[in-house]
Amino acid sequence: MKRKAISYIRVSTDNQGKTGYGLEDQRQRIVEFCDDEGFELIEFFCDVDSGSKSNRPELMKAIALAKETGATIVCARLCRLSRSAHFITGLIAHGVPFIVAEFGNVPTFQLHLYAILGEEERRRIGANTKKALQIAKSRGVKLGTHNPKVLAGVKRRRAMETNILLERVEPSILKAKNEGCRTQQSFCDYLNDRDIKSPRGKDWTPSTLGRVLKMVRARTEG
């Protein structure tokens, strides 16, 4: 009888989640690992959020299912599970079974060491980068790009991301309005009750909704 496994994937931005950037590679790594190790994949979960954040709804669902079925959570790389050594330590301490495909079926204490080393390396890289930028700035170097082609590309990418967001959310907002929603909180409740996530993959708040409604109005009037 095959052991059960649950696939967990994380991408850092909403655009990555929609275009498949990084997502398909993670999925393929997990599928290949499970085939090689004799696991039966029973479910797939994917979060669109930063690896530094611990409040990830799809991971919580994966953990709940793992406890219910006795399955093991499999992710492609340790940083996809979390970039925080403290968070990974918490999973280990609470007995959440997980395997990282890039390391193979190694003991959990070894994964803990990898997480600590990875976090320290990112800290050093960040500190060195910040120091180099400060030195460059003190020498009069203008930071950031001023290349018109690069700036135009950034503008096009942001416009594309905005269009994707509106195409996904606008129909639900208009439907909520037709069903009697008038206040921002009532719109938020409508969307949250139907598990329709905000651009960052979280529950809606009035401030987030206000920005999106402004874009919807501009799109309708335009």
- pLDDT band at 74, cuts 50/70/90? very high
Separation CA 40–CA 71 (nearest Å): 9
Who has greater pLDDT, 157 or 139? 139
Average pLDDT over residues 202-215: 82
Separation CA 47–CA 98 (nearest Å): 16
The amino acid sitting at 59 is L
Per residue, the 3-state secondary structure of 7-74, as one string, reads: EEEEECCHHHHHHCCCHHHHHHHHHHHHHHHCEEEEEEEEEECCCCCCCCHHHHHHHHHHHHHCCEEE
Report pLDDT digits (tens) over 81-105.
Answer: 877 778 888 888 788 888 999 888 7
What is the CATH number that goes with domain 3-114?
3.40.50.1390
Separation CA 79–CA 52 (nearest Å): 9
pLDDT number for residue 183: 86
**Domains in the chain: boundaries:** 3-114, 148-221
Other Cβ atoms closer than 10 A to 68? 8
Q: Say if residue 17's pLDDT is above 60.
A: no
Report which DSSP code applies to 208: H
pTM: 0.53
Report pLDDT digits (tens) over 157-205.
Answer: 666 666 666 677 778 888 888 888 888 888 889 888 888 887 777 888 9
Please classify residue 164 by burial: count the beta carbons closer than 10 Å to its beta carbon, then call 0-12 exposed, 13-18 middle and 19+ buried: middle
* Average pLDDT in the chain: 78
